[in-house]
Structure 1
Amino acid sequence: MSEKRRPGVLHGFKAFLMRGNVVDLAVAVVIGAAFTNIVNSVVKGIINPVVGALGTKSLDSYSSCLKAPCTGTGDSATGVRILWGSVLGATLNFLITAAVVYFLMVLPMSRFLARQEARRKAKEGAHEVIEVTELQVLKEIRDALVAQRGPGHSRP
C-alpha cells in the first residue's frame, strides 16, 4: 500500500519564506534599519546642534517640573519631571524620516507609476481609435454594397 506523502513542515516553511511579500517585508525591515541610522545621524549631527545654538546641546535636556522639588536624575530624582524635550526630539526624528521617505522614495515612485499608466492608457486609446475607425469603414462598405444591390435586396 502506498500512501501519499503529505508535505512536511519544512516544505511548508520554505514555501512561506519564498512568498514574494515575505521577502519584500524582510528587505523593507533591513533597509528601514539602515535608514534609521542615517536619520539619527542627521538629527544628532544637524538638528541637535541647531537647537543647541538656540538653547541646550540636546533636546533630551528640555523638561518641566510638574511637582516640586525636581532635583536629581534617574532613580534618585525627586518630584515629577515632564521630559518634553525627548518627545520633541522623537517627533522631529519621525518627521525627518517621513519627509525623506516621502520625497526620496514615495513621490518619485508615484510619478514614475503615473507616467507608466499614462503611457499605457495612451497606447490603449490609440488602439481603440484604430479599431473604431476600421469598424466604421467596414460599416460604410456594407452600406455601400447594400445600396448597390438596390431597394429590393435586404441584408441576410
Structure 2
Amino acid sequence: MSAVRRGMKGFKEFLLRGNVVDLAVAVVIGAAFTTVINAFVKGVINPLVGVFGTKDLSVYKSCLKGPCEVDAAGNVTSGVYILWGSVLSAALTFLITAAVVYFLLILPMNHFMRKRRSLEEEALEAEEKEVVLLTEIRDALVRRG
C-alpha cells in the first residue's frame, strides 16, 4: 500500500472517529447559540442599558491621549481611545452565555446525573442483598441435603 493510500485511510479513520464528529456538531451548535445570545444582548440587554444611557454600548469610550477627534464616519482621526463600552458589551455577552449554559445545560445535567447515580446505587444495593439471600438459600440447601 502506498504512503498516499495509508495517509488517506488514516485521515478517513480520524474523520469517522466519534469524538471528531461530536466536536464538529458542538462547534456548529455553538455558533448558532452565539448568534442567539448576540441577538439577545442587542435586542434586550442593550435597550435595558439604554434606559440609563445609550443602546449601543460601543459608543462608551474614553480619550486616553488627546485631543481625540472622530470624523462623521466614526473613524478616529486623532488621539487614542479606550473602547471600554465594547469590552463591557463583550463581558455582558460572555456572562449571559455562561448563565444560559449553566442554568439550561449544566444544572439539569447535574441533576440528571445525581438521580442516575442514586438509581445505580439502589440497584447495586439490591443486587448485593440478592447475592446474600441466594448465598443463604444455597447454604441452607447444602445443610439439608
TM-score of the aligned structures, taking structure 2 as reference length: 0.85
Distance 1:75 1:49 in 2: 26
Runs of 4+ that moved beyond 4 A: 136-142
Distance 2:59 2:13 in 1: 50
Distance 1:67 1:136 in 2: 87
Distance 2:124 2:20 in 1: 34
Distance 2:100 2:20 in 1: 24
2:86 corresponds to which letter in structure 1? S
State the structure with bigger RCO (CA 8 A, min sep 6), 1 or 2: 2
CA spacing shift, 1:75–1:66, aligned 2, 3 Å = closer
Q: In the alignment, what sits opposite 1:64?
A: 62
Provide the secondary structure at the position in 2 that maps to 1:109: helix
Provide the secondary structure at the position in 1 that maps to 2:51: helix
Cα contact 2:69–2:76 (8 A) shared by 1? no
Which blocks of at least 5 consecutive residues in structure 2 are unaligned?
A: none
Q: In the alignment, what sits opposite 1:106?
A: 106
Q: Choose from 7, 28, 31 the match for 1:30.
A: 28
Cα contact 2:14–2:20 (8 A) shared by 1? yes
Identity of aligned residues (%): 52
Distance 1:14 1:110 in 2: 35
Larger radius of gyration: 1
Q: In the alignment, what sits opposite 1:132?
A: 132
In the comparison of the two structures, how many residue pairs are matched?
A: 139
Distance 1:82 1:106 in 2: 36
Distance 1:136 1:29 in 2: 56
Q: In the alignment, what sits opposite 2:45?
A: 47
Distance apart, 1:33 and its partner CA: 0.4
Which blocks of at least 5 consecutive residues in structure 1 are unaligned?
A: 146-156
Distance 2:52 2:105 in 1: 32
2:36 corresponds to which letter in structure 1? I
TM-score of the aligned structures, taking structure 1 as reference length: 0.80
CA spacing shift, 1:75–1:54, aligned 2, 3 Å = closer
1:29 corresponds to which letter in structure 2? V
